[in-house]
Structure 1
Amino acid sequence: MPEPRSSKAGARGWTPARYRALLRAEGPSSMRFRTRLAILLGAVAIGLAATLFATAADAAGQLFDLYVARHPWLPLLSTPLLFALLVWLTRRFVPLARGSGIPQVIAAQQDPERATGSLVSVRTVVGKALLTLGAVLAGASVGREGPTVQIAAAVMGLSHRLFRVPLRGAVLIAGGAAGVAAAFNTPLAGLLFAIEELASAYEQRVTLLVIAAIVIAGMVAQTVQGDYVYFGLIGAHMTITSALMAVPCAGIVGGVAGGLFARLMLTMATASNPVTGWARRSPVAFAALCGLVVALLGVGTGMTWGTGYGAARAMIAGVDAPLWFGPAKFLAALATAVAGLPGGIFAPSLAVGAGVGNLLQPIFSGMPASSIVILGMVGYFAGVVRAPLTAVIILSETTASRGLMLPMFATAFIADGFSQFVCREKLYHGLSRTFAMRP
């Protein structure tokens, strides 16, 4: 009985030549296979690097707390000196490691291949990690999330170089977003941060790349660190009537305050006036002065050192805090951010936002304190970074307060609108111009 025509055609189709062509296109030596492997292993490495960096930063913070407990007045001397030393080391050895790290990743998308030797090089991110830990040991108001983004982008770039595959801007977006996801244990926030902040023109074809990197890095970090909620299981909620009163207030106050922080940072980074001129001519002396401001606030209040995580966590949980915490933490975070040393502003901004919410509590005394504090955090964070979706998802994932989602979204969009009245340019994109690579 003759074989069916279709079977004969299929048999003829699978020839040795076709197998060889398939191996060239999809096999271990193919560009497609090596690209996928570079992304997979890069994402795993990001999860491990983020976990290691987080552990080291937490240990450095605990060491500083012990130091302050034993020698409460010594930071008045040590903090300004360490600020000056860290800025000198940064400018001397790794000038591209200064600041948050997110503007560097945005700037690196102009020429990803060249950026692996500068903005996201191994030298730069190793220096970034070490100097950020030094800033934590100095009591600076810095976070580890921004540096983790730069470190993650460098890891992804390195994995592509090792497997000899082309590096695209989308890969840096994926790496940076995976860094956010691993740092906060917030995979959805990582995805939205990639869309809102890292990618100025987000392309649909990079969606799966970003999601894959975020999921893998997040799973690795969660496997090592355990499944945790950054601020704890708060589960805040609010009635519609209460939200209609609290949301506009939190959005306006948070947006204006966040916009002011962004405006002052961009002014110090890009404007020309006597203050910025002196800061650029004498960066080490200016850093020492900023360190003195941070030290005076820290010694005077005992609450503004470091990220402010503890104070923010307490306020979210409903613990009463002094009304001056928000303004004091604002000044400490600003003095640290403009000093020129490496370190992020994510965590300090959340702490300032908690202080904003704490300021609003007396006005809405009949409402749940945790809800007002969280709305203040959303409003201020959205005002600073102008990424309202990211602000909402970060707070919903780090507090497990999904019942507060609609009020948080409303607060974030109001804050974003009012922040633009104070500072028209988005903070990270404005700062990225100071890292623009010249042809």
Structure 2
Amino acid sequence: MFKRRGNDMPKDLRRLRPVFSRWMSLRHWRSQLVFWIGGLLVGVVAVLVAKVADGAQALFHLGVAKVGWLPLVITPVGFAISAFAARRWFPGSQGSGIPQVIAATEIVRHNPKGLDRLVSLRVVLGKTALLFLGLLTGASIGREGPTVQIGAALMRMTGRIGGIVSNESALLLAGGAAGVAAAFNTPLAGIVFAIEELGKSFEQRTSGTVIFTVMLAGIASLGMVGDYIYFGHSDAHLQPLPDTLAVLVCGLGGGALGGLFARILVFCNKRLGRVFNGFFERRRILFAALCGLSVALIGVVSGTDIFGTGYSEARSLLGGADTGSPLFGVLKWVSTLLSSASGIPGGLFAPSLSTGAGLGADMHWLLPVAPLGTMVLLGMVAYFSGVVQSPLTSFVIVMEMTNSHNMVMPLIAASVLAYSVSRLICPRPLYHSLSQTFIDEERRMRRSEAASTGA
């Protein structure tokens, strides 16, 4: 018996040899260093992007406070300039940025050279500048989606500088997840987002590296702005039986409106050419200007602050305060849809969360089955889950952003219910539908290049 055990020992050691070799490899530690530096860089840049976005919104509100009709002039002009610049000088920067990262994780498998159009230094500069312009002129957009694309681009550039080009898929995944974590100060949400939304590229072999990169991005963000809760602490709670109706009301309503938003946005992205014989498809800049004018009219005529991210309004609603308009949720829904459909660079996360908060308040006014703060919180998670169709990410991000750990089960229930309802209206997730546009465009360009080379 002892002899057999002695003969087995070399076999066990041989099994561990690849592990030891890897940990002693200079290439392994260089790769890890690239991810660590990239994670810290993404965290720092995410904070800078947040500062730029907040400054742009502050300047816009300062101007509107002095000249109430100012949005009627600058908003359509800003939309037109942003749409033109995105199409002419910064192709690949339009929209949220998350579809581009999803497309990049697919394109990198077949044509790594095709990533330059989606995740490059040019895109980083263009996305940041046009995000600033959009918020400066009153667009209902957020900075979180752009931060995901910027994070993926920065990680890819860091990998190239460090000589790590064979694992670009993991770099893109880590950069995008780190962008979410640093933008919202929600590291757990960044990890869940990487698994749920970018799951095709999430491999067991690189999972530890990705998670540690997300943590470093969060640490960098905390080091610059301190520990904070994005929307502040929520005291929302549910009673066992009567207030359970709030989950059903918000889950069904938020899921339906979120699915409708996604369905219309996908239609505008892919089938706008079928409307009015392709008039708006051929005149995208004019379409963007008309979207901007519509947003300005909604804000000025209603007297409701539907511009920008909607952060202040959502935070007020969570605290039980009034936004000044009972239709804030509906108007924010329309203004965000117009801003996203216009094609200007800008994200959906923050506007969707503020829209959900407003819709939760509206549902509380119609069916007061639970306290206002509770309905607002459930509306946020339900509507956001309905739009992006990522129930785990939605639940975790709202829980971390409001520190509402006492609402874990209701938040999960509302998120899953909204996801199920949304899938009935928009069968394919929004970001994946939008990413297909970039994937198809890359394929056409590759075929065109192959045909010209063959000729």
Same fold? TM cut 0.5: yes
Partner residue, 2:137: 138
Q: Which moved more, 1:104-113 or 1:31-40?
A: 104-113
Cα shift at 1:280: 1.8
1:41-97, Cα deviation, whole Å (9 max, x unpaired)? 000100000011001110111011101101111210111111111111111101100
Secondary structure of 2:69's aligned partner: coil
Partner residue, 1:14: none
Partner residue, 1:53: 49
Pairwise mapping of residues 311-390 of structure 1 onto structure 2 (< 5 A)?
A: 311-321=313-323, 322-365=325-368, 367-390=370-393
Q: Which of 301, 304, 320 is 1:302 aligned to?
A: 304
Structure 1 Cα separation of the partners of residues 94 and 416 of structure 2 = 30
Partner residue, 1:417: 420
Judging changes above 3 Å, is the alpha-carbon distance between structure 1 residues 352 and 77 closer, same or farther for their aligned structure 2 residues? same
Letter in 1 for 2:125: V
Structure 1 Cα separation of the partners of residues 369 and 380 of structure 2 = 19
Letter in 1 for 2:140: S
Secondary structure of 1:252's aligned partner: helix
Structure 1 Cα separation of the partners of residues 392 and 77 of structure 2 = 39
Q: Does the alignment pair 1:427 with 2:423?
A: no
Q: Is the 8 Å Cα contact of residues 47 and 182 (structure 2) preserved in structure 1? A: yes
Secondary structure of 2:207's aligned partner: helix
Q: Is the 8 Å Cα contact of residues 104 and 435 (structure 1) preserved in structure 2? A: yes
Structure 2 Cα separation of the partners of residues 414 and 225 of structure 1 = 35
Q: Is the 8 Å Cα contact of residues 50 and 221 (structure 1) preserved in structure 2? A: yes
Q: Is the 8 Å Cα contact of residues 97 and 146 (structure 2) preserved in structure 1? A: yes
Q: Does the alignment pair 1:219 with 2:219?
A: yes
Q: Does the alignment pair 1:152 with 2:154?
A: no
Structure 1 Cα separation of the partners of residues 277 and 411 of structure 2 = 36
Structure 1 Cα separation of the partners of residues 268 and 19 of structure 2 = 56
Pairwise mapping of residues 74-85 of structure 1 onto structure 2 (< 5 A)?
A: 74-85=70-81
Would you say how many aligned residue pairs link Structure 1 and Structure 2? 421
Q: Is the 8 Å Cα contact of residues 360 and 376 (structure 2) preserved in structure 1? A: yes
Q: Is the 8 Å Cα contact of residues 87 and 340 (structure 1) preserved in structure 2? A: yes
Q: Is the 8 Å Cα contact of residues 148 and 183 (structure 1) preserved in structure 2? A: yes
Secondary structure of 2:142's aligned partner: coil
Q: Give the fraction of aligned pairs with identical amino acids, expressed as a percent.
A: 43
1:275-331, Cα deviation, whole Å (9 max, x unpaired)? 582222001100110000110012122310111111111111101243211110011
Judging changes above 3 Å, is the alpha-carbon distance between structure 1 residues 276 and 139 closer, same or farther for their aligned structure 2 residues? farther
Structure 2 Cα separation of the partners of residues 196 and 275 of structure 1 = 38
Secondary structure of 1:361's aligned partner: helix
Partner residue, 2:275: 274
1:92-129, Cα deviation, whole Å (9 max, x unpaired)? 10110000000000000123332542210110111011
Secondary structure of 1:228's aligned partner: coil
Q: Which runs of 5+ in 2 are unaligned?
A: 1-5, 7-17, 447-455
Q: Is the 8 Å Cα contact of residues 144 and 343 (structure 1) preserved in structure 2? A: yes
What root-mean-square deviation, in Å, do the aligned CA atoms of Structure 1 and Structure 2 show? 2.1
Judging changes above 3 Å, is the alpha-carbon distance between structure 1 residues 276 and 119 closer, same or farther for their aligned structure 2 residues? farther
Q: Is the 8 Å Cα contact of residues 169 and 201 (structure 2) preserved in structure 1? A: no
Cα shift at 1:33: 1.6
Partner residue, 1:291: 292
Letter in 1 for 2:275: P
Judging changes above 3 Å, is the alpha-carbon distance between structure 1 residues 188 and 275 closer, same or farther for their aligned structure 2 residues? farther
Cα shift at 1:204: 2.4
Judging changes above 3 Å, is the alpha-carbon distance between structure 1 residues 241 and 32 closer, same or farther for their aligned structure 2 residues? same
Partner residue, 2:120: 121
Pairwise mapping of residues 197-236 of structure 1 onto structure 2 (< 5 A)?
A: 197-200=197-200, 202-236=202-236
Letter in 1 for 2:158: S
Normalising by structure 1, we get a TM-score of 0.92
Structure 1 Cα separation of the partners of residues 91 and 344 of structure 2 = 9
Cα shift at 1:23: 12
Cα shift at 1:203: 2.5
Cα shift at 1:273: 1.6
